[in-house]
Structure 1
Amino acid sequence: MLSLKDIQQAAVRLQGQVLDTPCVESRTLSQITGADVFLKFENLQFTASFKERGACNKLSELTSGGERPGVIAMSAGNHAQGVAYHAQRLGLRAVIVMPTFTPGVKVARTRGFGAEIVLIGDTLEAARAHALELAKNQGLTFVHPYDDLAIMAGQGTIGIEMLRTQPDLDVLVVPIGGGGLIAGIATAAKTIKPGIEVVGVQVQRFPAMVNLIKHAHYAQGASTIADGIAVGAPGELCAEVIRQRVDELLLVDEGDIEQAIVMLLEIEKTLVEGAGAAALAAVLKHRSRFAGKRVGMVLSGGNIDPMLLASIIGRGMVRSGRLARIVVSARDVPGTLARITTLVADAGANIDEVHHQRAFTVLSAQSVEIEMVLQTRGHEHVDEIVSKLRAQDLDVRLVH
Structure 2
Amino acid sequence: MSVRRLAEDSVQPAAFAFNRENTAWAKLTIKKYPKGREQSAVIPLLMRAQEQDGWVTRAAIEHVAIMLDMPLIRVLEVATFYTQFQLQPVGTRAHIQICGTTPCMLRGAEDLKKVCQHRIHHDPFHTNESGTLSWEEVECLGACVNAPMIMVFKDTYEDLTPERLEEIIDAFEAGKGDTITPGPQINRHFSAPEGGATSLIEGNGAAKPKRAAKSAAGESAAIAPTNAAKPVTHDVTTSDAIRSPSKAKASKVVEDAASKPAEPTPAAARTIKNPPIAEGSLGEKPPVQTIKAPAAQSVSLEDKNRPAAIEKPAVTDNLELISGVSPKIAGILHELGIYTFAQVASWKKAEREWVDGYLNFKGRIERDDWVKQAKALAKGGEAEYIKVFGKKPR
* TM-score, structure 2 as length reference: 0.19
Larger RCO, structures 1/2 (Cα 8 Å, 6+ apart): 1
> Which structure has greater strand proportion?
1
